[in-house]
Amino acid sequence: TRTPVNVTVTGAAGQIGYALLFRIASGHLLGPDVPVNLRLLEIPQGLKAAEGTAMELDDCAFPLLRNIEITDDANVGFAGANVALLVGARPRTKGMERGDLLSANGGIFKPQGKAINDNAADDIKVLVVGNPANTNALIAQAAAPDVPAERFTAMTRLDHNRAISQLAAKTGAAVSDIKKLTIWGNHSATQYPDIFHAEVAGKNAAELVNDEAWLADTFIPTVAKRGAAIIEARGASSAASAANAAIDHVYTWVNGTAPGDWTSMGIPSDGSYGVPEGLISSFPVTTKDGKYEIVQGLDINEFSRTRIDASVQELAEERDAVRELGLI
Ligand code: NAX
């Protein structure tokens, strides 16, 4: 039998945590034959609710779930972690400036990065879900100098999945017929969902749609503002779909992309496509044997270039702001 994989989830008592933990425990994160130990990291006020969720996890009698530990100590929470899902974050509240938001999150992600550095397993893989996800990932990564930088990633898979769904609806295709879609840049309203290299049942998506106005005025804003539309409709932010995307992100990272397809991940840039090195930006990537690689050699047209540059510019500004705050 396989050794259990230690999976740490922060913000475990939150709404994404509630949607996420049961799918991890049932084998969707790593695969149907991989046992898991869960480590739930919360702030003191969240511990009781996390205990309640752990009771429900027990009550599922999941065959793959070996044990659950609940803690508010990051050194304990990340001890021996092989996978860390950083979900807990400080949301933007009314009247909060960007600087306030970044420093509040720096107060979470800097110590968590250090705790990962000091306590996690050598093969640790980190996914940051908590917003601002890309820059929170940068803060955590900078605080973990002994962990290879590429192990710190940020979630744009929800944006990727949203874009696939919108493109499928537009073209009347099945979601499974859509390949090679890309989210570029920041997980924010500036993100750029790119269909110029995407395929719909083997045909080029942009040629098939052949409607730049739809792209610019409907598709891109619908994907980029989907989070706000969910809040408007549901009265609460995306939770199950965000948890599902976190599952997809890690599953794909560990188990590989399908031949002839790729996915989108926020990862430290190596300078590809003119994205300054070190920024945690979303790219098209293929994965194999637990490693990812940026898809190279794509032609970037004018329409795409402007939008990628704008989102990357925003990431550079966030990086400069956290640098000024002494967070990286
Ligand atoms: P909730 O407010 O329901 O839950 C957050 C939980 O985190 C709370 O239980 C809180 O006690 C805990 N927490 C806060 N600080 C912590 C710390 N220092 N250590 C451990 N736990 C801590 O939020 P939820 O709806 O679950 O969303 C979580 C985060 O995901 C938010 O930052 C949200 O903006 C972000 N999202 C990111 C998405 C993405 O695509 N990257 C999409 C969905 C979501 O909006």
User: How many whole angstroms separate alpha carbon 193 and alpha carbon 179?
Assistant: 13
Q: Check if the beta carbon of residue 82 is closer than 8 Å to that of residue 6.
A: yes
Q: Check if the beta carbon of residue 116 is closer than 8 Å to that of residue 136.
A: no
Please tell me the residue having the least CA distance from ligand 1 atom 35: 130
Tell me the CA–centroid distance for residue 132 and ligand 1, in Å.
10
46 lines ligand 1 (CB under 6 A): yes
108 lines ligand 1 (CB under 6 A): yes
Please tell me the residue having the least CA distance from ligand 1 atom 4: 14
Paired sense of beta strands 152-154 and 125-128, if any: parallel
Whole-angstrom CA distances from 152 to 53, 127, 138, 224 are 27, 6, 8, 23
pLDDT value of residue 91: 87
107 lines ligand 1 (CB under 6 A): no
pTM to 2 decimals?
A: 0.98
Paired sense of beta strands 203-204 and 125-128, if any: unpaired
User: How many whole angstroms separate alpha carbon 9 and alpha carbon 5?
Assistant: 13
- What is the DSSP track for 219-274? IHHHHHTHHHHHHHHHSS---HHHHHHHHHHHHHHHH-PPTT--EEEEEE--SGGG
Which tens digit of pLDDT belongs to each residue from 222-262? 999 999 999 999 999 999 999 999 999 999 999 999 999 99
Q: Which helix (H) or strand (E) holds 55?
A: helix 47-60
47 lines ligand 1 (CB under 6 A): no
Q: Check if the beta carbon of residue 128 is closer than 8 Å to that of residue 154.
A: yes
Cis status, amide bond into 132, omega within 30 of 0: yes
- What is the DSSP track for 13-52? TSHHHHHHHHHHHTTTTT-TT--EEEEEE--GGGHHHHHH
Please pick, among 28, 160, 187, 197, the residue that the annotation labels catalytic: 187
User: How many whole angstroms separate alpha carbon 117 and alpha carbon 192?
Assistant: 32
Q: List residues bridging with 71 in a β-sheet.
A: 41
Strands (E), 112-173: 125-128, 152-154
Active site residue 187: yes
pLDDT value of residue 117: 98
Q: Which residues of 62-92 are buried (b: 16+ CB within 10 A; e: fewer)?
A: bebbeebebbeebeebbbebbbbbbbbbbee
User: How many whole angstroms separate alpha carbon 115 and alpha carbon 64?
Assistant: 26
pLDDT value of residue 217: 98
Q: Using 70 as the pLDDT threshold, list the residues of the chain that sit under it.
A: 1
pLDDT value of residue 98: 85
Please tell me the residue having the least CA distance from ligand 1 atom 16: 88
pLDDT value of residue 23: 98
Mutate which of 40, 42, 96, 190 for ligand 1 pocket (most atoms within 8 A of beta carbon): 42
